[in-house]
Structure 1
Amino acid sequence: MLRLFEHIKNRLKGRRRERRSLSAVFGQFQHVLELNNRVLTTIASMHNKLGGSYIFDLQYLRSSRQYMVNTVRELIDAFDALAPGRYPELYVSFRSIRDKLDGELERRPVLPDIMAIPFEEIGAKDMDAVGAKSTRLGIIAETGTAQVPHGFAVTTAAYRLFMERNEILDVIKDSEEAWNSGELSAAEASGRIRSHILAGTIPSRLRKALNRELDALRRKLGDGEIRLAVRSSAWGEDGNLSFAGQYDSFLHVTPEDLHDAYRKVLASTYSPSAMEYRREYDFKPDEVFMAVSVQQMVEARTSGVAYSLSPVDPGRNSTDIAGTWGLGAPVVSGEVEVDRFVVSRDAGHAILSNSVADKALAMQGKPGGSVTMEPVPEDLRKVPCLSPEEVRLLADTAVRLERYFRKPQDIEFAFDSEGSLTVLQTRPLRIGRKEDGETPDLSQSLKRYPVLLSGEGEVAQQGVGSGPVFVAWEGRDLETFPDGAVLVAHLSSPQYAAILHRASGVITDIGSPLGHMATIAREYRVPTLLNASRATMVLEEGDVVTVDAEQKTVYRGEVRELRLHDYMRERMEETYEYRLLRRMLKLIEPLNLFDPEASNFTPQGCRTLHDIARFIHEKSVDILANIPNASASGEACPGGRLVLPVPLDLVVLDIGGGLAPECTGGLDGLKLRRTIQPDQVKSGTLHAFIDGVTLEGVWQSTPVPVDFSSFMSSMTRTFSAEAAGAKNIGQNLAVISEHYLHLSLKLGYHFTMIDCYESEDGTRNSIQFRFAGGVTGVTRRSRRARFLSEVLKTFDFSVTVKEDLVVARAKGWMARDLKRLMRILGILVAYTRQLDVSMVNDARIYEHCEEFERIVNEAVLN
């Protein structure tokens, strides 16, 4: 690794000394943007294949991997040409991700090297490590959607370690080959494999991890005996495939018997039925990994199963519940009579019907461990095992879990003696189509619902979602977002990432399927429609709507027929190729780098190919902000001093197509040779800025009184050339081309930098605005910064403020009308020139906001 660093550094050392023209730097920047856009487009295309409507093979996955790897490598090389030798660690991160992708395609899955994880530390990212069953319990625990048992997951890496240390992998391979060739029956092959697993020893590293988690569990639960439920959580189990009943679980296990129970669960991976099931669904040997869920046993008074949507009659819009006294295993296996409840899914959850059984036997835990069937006391046999309040609570929990996981759920539950509900596990529930032809015509059903939006926007994630509208206006507290609501916002901002997992749908006025929020929406599979233009004007807070993202349609009300149709759609999601694509995308699509100021925003922090593209894009914009310093001295460029009716004293440097042809030879480096008239400026964005900064009545040219304390504060402040953004403090500079504008301005005691890039199709437009400084003390400068922040947010910028420093960005569709935004920024520069002096109290912030809005409305919007 060190030799690689040295090789890269030595190879690039000579390049650092090369002098590059401004136009060459800008050309490299354009190439980086083009490659970045290609990466994002490919990621979106690959993810769309997971919608269930596409058929593809291994060749598609191999070619997609090759294209992605080649494009990202080309992107890194292009970025390295823009910033020679500055980030050699990017190559290291890239090689690591590429090797993991190759491992997936070569059937060498990369597993996190950890033996056990507590439930409260498990998130969606840990699916490969702990399986779907434990992942869902971890997510429920993290989000507080319902109560789950305390416990931990023993990982797939632990399974692999156990198999390797006990030399069982070759036994599995030989036995399965003999079974597939007909030399052994499934039962014979299973028996041979399971006997080796049951005789295996627990590796020291795994034993220490189990003991550590058991000790932590004891500390959480306090004094008293601990009993455990040891359950399977294999790859593929409780996912798109259920593996229902294929693997073993063990209840009421003592901590001393945990090792034996663990081996038994591992052995059940190779039960005859599980082997047959995997073969039927083309589950490859490299996909067989068993994680194990170790849970605190709930001392259950009542247990059972709840279906969030009736699989028998889904059109009835009901939740079905079955329960009995004691532990719930006999309910799942069908060994006992159960009480049944049919409950409305609507608010209030009215009980539509119930049937109370004669419950003669119940499963109970034995004092020394294990379980037994015992007679139910006579006075309880014909009494409902759930009260009406418990039935309604369970129905409400089931519907909330369905909304969260975006599919109907099959839930195992328990109520303890205090009436506290615990979700033991939840998995997707299959809803099949009726075979009797009674399914209503969807097109006729949809005619009953008013259409609020149709044919507008771009699909970031397909699907159907219903819920009340939550309008995320600027500054609104997102903590108030209710579970299952439809998020409606003006911008597709990554700030909504924290609530997307709770949303049933997303609609924005502005946004791109290639943006960061779209990526997160795809990760959570939230139906998402972006760039819908009028969403915030048409959709009203609190109104229930249904979003059909695939058809780009929003209906008033909850369209149950449409959601049911979506649940019953036949998707090709159970093939090996789909499962492999999902694993590949975990190395390609997730975005871990959000905040450029965060400590992980480094080459080493890049864990996916998307992270690499994000890092490069952000750093490229930063580099372009310093383009005037890019070894330009001595370069002959068109330009000169711009003649304006305000004392801006702006020098213009043209690096290609920004000035009229007659302006050639105006500058040698920054040595002035001529003046430039406004009508000679061909750059549309600079022209818009000039229109704004010279707006009549906005530029403050009269002296402004400064109190003594503010004057003394300004005298003690210093400014670096880096803060000013130009080599010579006091030099106001514009670097322009046909599609690019950089402004570096020193006006009085503050500095402003603006970078603007205009793409041909508008999807890659970007503006970055930086502001710092002032003549007064920190309080008034901070007030001006807050004023700038309020104004910029109004016009679709994302803003970061630190004391008197303001950094604002608008990208993609948020910046599609660049000329309008640049004119507003011109007005803002003129308006704020000496504004800090007047910021005598907080009220002045909002007075100036109102005044500025009035000026802009008159000058720009009308």
Structure 2
Amino acid sequence: MDVKDETAFEAMCNEVRRRIFEAAIPKHVVSNIEAMLDIIAGKRQGAPLGFAVRSSAWGEDSEFSFAGQYESVLNVPRKAILQAYRRVIAGAYTPEAWRYRLHRGYRESEMAMAVGCQLMVEAEVSGAMYTYAPLSLEQEAMVISAAWGLGPAVVGGLAESDTFVLDRLPPHSVISTESGRKVSKMVMKQDGGTAWVDVAQNLQDEPCLSAEYIQKLAQAAIMIERYYRRPQDVEWAFDGKGNLYILQSRPLNVKPNQPERHRLYIDHASLSAQVLFSGQGTVVQGGVASGKVYVAQGDDDLKDFPYGAILVARYTSPKYSRIMRKARGILTDVGSATGHMATLAREYRVPTVVDTGVATKVLKTGDEVTLDAIQNVVYEGTVKELSQFEITQEDVFEESFEYRTLRRVLKKINPLNLVDPHSESFKAARCRTFHDITRFVHEKAVERLIDLSENYRKQHDKTPKRLEFVIPLGLVIIDIEKGTSSPDRARSVTLEQIESTPMKALLGGLLESGMWETNPVAVDLGSLMSSFTRTFSSSLAGPEDVGRNLAVISNHYMNLHLRLGYHFNMLDAYIGDSLNDNYIYFRFLGGVSNVARRSRRARFIAEVMECFDFLVEIHGDLVVGRIKKMSKERMVSRMKVLGGLIGYTRQLDISMINEERIDLHLSDFMQKIQTLTEVSDDAPMCELRPKDADSDPGR
């Protein structure tokens, strides 16, 4: 047929549509539709059902938008769903839609129409939003069109609307407002379908969006744009309770008129911008982000994280997922590109660089920066040209068929729901993805390994070796694999013969720091009486509770149980060349003095460990610290810190007579450990408290 013959072409379209309307819908399709309607009706508990029955054709809203070409039917009651389904299918063969496909080179074999059914939103106000206004690229703005009632009044151009132009950068200030006279609006009819009604006189000239609604909409739209890495055309609605609904989002084709000139424009802007640091760390998620820095020292800081900021933190944590919707970018000093937070950053599509080593040293809260997580550069100030280039470049892998297929598969693999192992919801039954299963198995395996290591002596009978050391630890070592270089039949081992990386670092820190005190400590009457109540008789204890301090070691592993007087230390660690395998688990308990002094010492230990990136828990005088996924060099330095800490705190509780002693000892310890151990090039994240020159911690 000659498609240029308008009469013949239109007759063919009408014939195809007639056959669709008269055809029987396959029984299995009808039964599946009815089954889903039953499920939805059950969830709605008798509330009336109204659906938007919408087209979802192959290729729609991709390179070509097909905007307004296919049919949608609004507020369809349950009894009319099947007829609306036919209407949408037949809508693919209207003369307008068919010609649109022909003009853009679509073959008829590529035509496939799916039909989406969405519950209607009883919209108080609705409309459309472009995340990049159709202005020159140098003018960074978004534009919102809004009207009272349902959205077709705006997207179909059927009524007057309001127009708001906003700044793309937070806090998305309103640049201009143009209010139309909105005399009528489209609403849902009770028995199905839509109708036009008059707008109340006092609302006809009033802007239909409040400042709060504008902010909600701007933040949601920018988040969608960041995810798809393309400017978006977003259809939306607010209901009468102020809830925002995103009805649809399609790519908004924004491209520079002269790509090569635009690329030179970008290169010039990059060269003229001040580089704060470059090439540091590992890019986890590519992209460009501009905004103010927010440095988070701990989990409590996340409560105040401002929308649109760039998170800067010492270490990575899956707990950052709570602010990823608000964050424009993430930078950390330490961390792994294969860790849990990295996975979440990719899921949320937040530009992220980890393991920079310098982020918290160079950046401070309030700094305005641009993070280029494509070239791995952090610039001072806002470099708008970089953001423009990222969302206007032509080649985007995310728009390919392969990516869309992979994304569907990854929905069953990648999302992480089991974030906090201490949460009551951290259960096998809550696993929803393969990532959840892996995380759950990993955490439970670690718990089991720690339990096994604590009971190693009960289950194995290897020839132990006594450690010959200048400090009287009374330590016995069991070498399970390449942990020492001493002969197999030797009954002792020296420091020089220790090959275990964590054990050598721990002993080195204890020795090099000079923290081990040999002078007797003055004990007051209260502490003396407390020690009497804490003394137990070896005759009343089992053989597993009395005897040698024990370490089970290999070349990269160490499990240590060390009792020094009334102080109990437990260390389980693996330090090797693979960053993802490295971890340290540390536990400290006990003391000779009363519970108040022991608790102060516990807080002192916790503060020191937090300064060196440990995640710490305190329960009375029990301190538990964990750290993982750092480089071998950094893990060795942390182990040396623990060695110094064990020596420093051996009799420290006796001197903890008041709260001020915590700060005094923290300052004293940090100065000594930084001077006498090899950690000076990896400064801790906390600031040293000033100490009075005449003060003495009184150890």
TM-score (norm 1): 0.65
- After superposition, the C-alpha distances for 1:113-149 in whole angstroms (9 at most, x for unaligned) are xxxxxxxxxxxxxxxxxxxxxxxxxxxxxxxxxxxxx
Q: In structure 1, the residue corresponding to 2:272 is in which secondary structure? A: coil
CA gap of 1:193–1:787, structure 2 versus 1, over 3 A, is farther
Are 1:283 and 1:576, in contact at CA under 8 Å, matched by a contact in 2?
Answer: no
2:128 alignment partner in structure 1: 305
2:287 alignment partner in structure 1: 463
CA gap of 1:444–1:367, structure 2 versus 1, over 3 A, is same
2:504 alignment partner in structure 1: 687
2:6 alignment partner in structure 1: none
Percentage of matched positions with identical amino acids: 34
- Rounded to whole Å, the distance in 1 between the matches of 2:179 and 2:267 is 40
Q: Does 1:852 align with 2:669?
A: yes
Are 1:592 and 1:611, in contact at CA under 8 Å, matched by a contact in 2?
Answer: yes
Q: In structure 2, the residue corresponding to 1:655 is in which secondary structure? A: strand
- After superposition, the C-alpha distances for 1:302-335 in whole angstroms (9 at most, x for unaligned) are x432223214544421222334455431321233
- After superposition, the C-alpha distances for 1:674-733 in whole angstroms (9 at most, x for unaligned) are 333323323343233223334435336635445477347636999x99xx9x94544211
- Rounded to whole Å, the distance in 2 between the matches of 1:197 and 1:308 is 43
Q: In structure 1, the residue corresponding to 2:321 is in which secondary structure? A: helix
| 1:488 shift after superposition | 0.8
| 1:581 shift after superposition | 0.7
2:207 alignment partner in structure 1: 386
- Which residue type is aligned with residue 218 of structure 2? V
- After superposition, the C-alpha distances for 1:70-119 in whole angstroms (9 at most, x for unaligned) are xxxxxxxxxxxxxxxxxxxxxxxxxxxxxxxxxxxxxxxxxxxxxxxxxx
| 1:497 shift after superposition | 2.1
2:233 alignment partner in structure 1: 410
| 1:367 shift after superposition | 6.5
1:214 pairs with one of 22, 36, 44: 44
- Rounded to whole Å, the distance in 2 between the matches of 1:810 and 1:281 is 58
- Rounded to whole Å, the distance in 2 between the matches of 1:465 and 1:305 is 25
1:432 alignment partner in structure 2: 254
CA gap of 1:376–1:520, structure 2 versus 1, over 3 A, is closer
Are 2:319 and 2:420, in contact at CA under 8 Å, matched by a contact in 1?
Answer: no
Q: How does 1:643-658 map to 2 (within 5 A)?
A: 643-658=468-483
1:321 pairs with one of 121, 124, 144: 144
Are 1:248 and 1:265, in contact at CA under 8 Å, matched by a contact in 2?
Answer: no
Are 2:467 and 2:475, in contact at CA under 8 Å, matched by a contact in 1?
Answer: yes
- Rounded to whole Å, the distance in 1 between the matches of 2:372 and 2:459 is 57
CA gap of 1:558–1:532, structure 2 versus 1, over 3 A, is same
Q: In structure 2, the residue corresponding to 1:642 is in which secondary structure? A: strand
1:696 pairs with one of 507, 514, 521: 514
CA gap of 1:337–1:596, structure 2 versus 1, over 3 A, is closer
Structure with the higher helix share, 1 or 2 = 1
- Which residue type is aligned with residue 396 of structure 2? R
- Rounded to whole Å, the distance in 1 between the matches of 2:379 and 2:399 is 31
| 1:440 shift after superposition | 5.9
Are 1:464 and 1:546, in contact at CA under 8 Å, matched by a contact in 2?
Answer: yes
| 1:462 shift after superposition | 0.9
- Rounded to whole Å, the distance in 2 between the matches of 1:458 and 1:784 is 37
Q: Does 1:714 align with 2:534?
A: yes
2:372 alignment partner in structure 1: 548
1:479 alignment partner in structure 2: 303
1:745 alignment partner in structure 2: 562
2:434 pairs with one of 583, 603, 609: 609
| 1:527 shift after superposition | 0.6
CA gap of 1:547–1:236, structure 2 versus 1, over 3 A, is farther
| 1:372 shift after superposition | 2.6
1:333 pairs with one of 127, 134, 156: 156
- Rounded to whole Å, the distance in 2 between the matches of 1:233 and 1:599 is 42
- Rounded to whole Å, the distance in 1 between the matches of 2:296 and 2:656 is 29
- Rounded to whole Å, the distance in 2 between the matches of 1:600 and 1:686 is 36
2:606 alignment partner in structure 1: 789
- Rounded to whole Å, the distance in 2 between the matches of 1:787 and 1:635 is 38
Which range moved further: 784-793 or 349-358? 349-358
- Rounded to whole Å, the distance in 2 between the matches of 1:283 and 1:499 is 45
2:268 pairs with one of 426, 444, 459: 444
| 1:791 shift after superposition | 1.3
- After superposition, the C-alpha distances for 1:815-848 in whole angstroms (9 at most, x for unaligned) are 6423322221111112222334444444443333
Q: How does 1:336-347 map to 2 (within 5 A)?
A: 336-345=159-168
- Rounded to whole Å, the distance in 1 between the matches of 2:638 and 2:107 is 55
Q: Does 1:273 align with 2:96?
A: no
- Which residue type is aligned with residue 541 of structure 1? T
Q: How does 1:29-108 map to 2 (within 5 A)?
A: none
CA gap of 1:657–1:676, structure 2 versus 1, over 3 A, is same
CA gap of 1:352–1:623, structure 2 versus 1, over 3 A, is closer
- After superposition, the C-alpha distances for 1:728-747 in whole angstroms (9 at most, x for unaligned) are 54421122222222211122
| 1:601 shift after superposition | 4.5
CA gap of 1:200–1:757, structure 2 versus 1, over 3 A, is closer
Are 1:401 and 1:409, in contact at CA under 8 Å, matched by a contact in 2?
Answer: no
| 1:290 shift after superposition | 5.8
TM-score (norm 2): 0.79
| 1:578 shift after superposition | 1.9
- Which residue type is aligned with residue 587 of structure 1? K
- After superposition, the C-alpha distances for 1:470-490 in whole angstroms (9 at most, x for unaligned) are 111246521110111101111
1:582 alignment partner in structure 2: 407
- Which residue type is aligned with residue 133 of structure 2? S
Q: Does 1:191 align with 2:9?
A: no
Unaligned runs of 5+ in 2: 1-11, 681-699
Q: How does 1:338-357 map to 2 (within 5 A)?
A: 338-345=161-168
1:128 alignment partner in structure 2: none
Are 1:236 and 1:243, in contact at CA under 8 Å, matched by a contact in 2?
Answer: no
CA gap of 1:795–1:477, structure 2 versus 1, over 3 A, is same
Q: In structure 1, the residue corresponding to 2:581 is in which secondary structure? A: coil
1:564 pairs with one of 377, 385, 388: 388
Which range moved further: 675-684 or 514-523? 675-684
Q: In structure 2, the residue corresponding to 1:471 is in which secondary structure? A: strand
- Rounded to whole Å, the distance in 2 between the matches of 1:288 and 1:597 is 47
Q: Does 1:731 align with 2:553?
A: no
Q: In structure 2, the residue corresponding to 1:587 is in which secondary structure? A: coil
Q: In structure 1, the residue corresponding to 2:496 is in which secondary structure? A: helix
1:61 alignment partner in structure 2: none
Are 1:247 and 1:268, in contact at CA under 8 Å, matched by a contact in 2?
Answer: no
- Rounded to whole Å, the distance in 2 between the matches of 1:605 and 1:417 is 34
Q: In structure 2, the residue corresponding to 1:820 is in which secondary structure? A: helix
Q: In structure 2, the residue corresponding to 1:801 is in which secondary structure? A: strand
2:494 pairs with one of 677, 680, 688: 677
- Rounded to whole Å, the distance in 1 between the matches of 2:437 and 2:32 is 39
| 1:410 shift after superposition | 2.9
Unaligned runs of 5+ in 1: 1-181, 219-225, 667-673
Q: CA RMSD in A?
A: 4.4
CA gap of 1:774–1:280, structure 2 versus 1, over 3 A, is farther
CA gap of 1:659–1:299, structure 2 versus 1, over 3 A, is closer
- Which residue type is aligned with residue 847 of structure 1? L
- After superposition, the C-alpha distances for 1:518-577 in whole angstroms (9 at most, x for unaligned) are 011011010111111211122221122111111101122222221121112331334443
1:501 pairs with one of 325, 328, 337: 325
Report how many residues are paired.
647
CA gap of 1:344–1:799, structure 2 versus 1, over 3 A, is closer
- Rounded to whole Å, the distance in 2 between the matches of 1:481 and 1:340 is 31
- Rounded to whole Å, the distance in 2 between the matches of 1:700 and 1:331 is 82
- Rounded to whole Å, the distance in 2 between the matches of 1:837 and 1:747 is 15
- Rounded to whole Å, the distance in 2 between the matches of 1:238 and 1:777 is 73
- Which residue type is aligned with residue 514 of structure 1? T
1:811 alignment partner in structure 2: 628
- Which residue type is aligned with residue 214 of structure 1? R
1:834 pairs with one of 651, 658, 671: 651
Higher normalized contact order (CA 8 Å, seq sep 6+, divided by chain length): 1
2:465 pairs with one of 640, 645, 648: 640
- Which residue type is aligned with residue 797 of structure 1? F
